[in-house]
Amino acid sequence: MGFIKDKYFFWGILTGVLWTGFGVLILLFFLSNKSIEDSLSSLYYQNKLGGLISISALINLPVFFIALQKNKFAFAAGLVAISLVLVLLVAFLKLNN
């Protein structure tokens, strides 16, 4: 649990959030003809927003393995932490509707 006190842990969390958000925006930009707001609300009402978040979170996998390869374990732990939060978010979205 010493990872939580390390600043690289928080950099890993921030990186995971930014890459996942970037993935969501890129997928919406290329796969939808509507505006981003309309696309997000449409996906929410169709119960497909969780799937989009899940696919977008896959961008974090190469970053995770690169961090492990460079022995940046605190950074990799931050990526795992944000991945767990995203799993809970997707589960909430699936169970909420």
pLDDT tens digits for range 12-58: 999 999 999 999 999 999 998 999 999 999 999 999 999 999 999 99
Sequence-distant (6+) residues with CB within 8 A of 96 are none
- The reported pLDDT for the residue numbered 2 is 64
Residue 28 sits in which domain range?
A: 2-96
Domain count, the chain: 1
State pLDDT tens for residues 50-65.
999 999 999 999 999 9
Separation between Cα atoms, residue 75 and residue 72, nearest integer Å: 5
**By C-alpha distance, which of 8, 16, 11, 6 is closest to 60?**
16
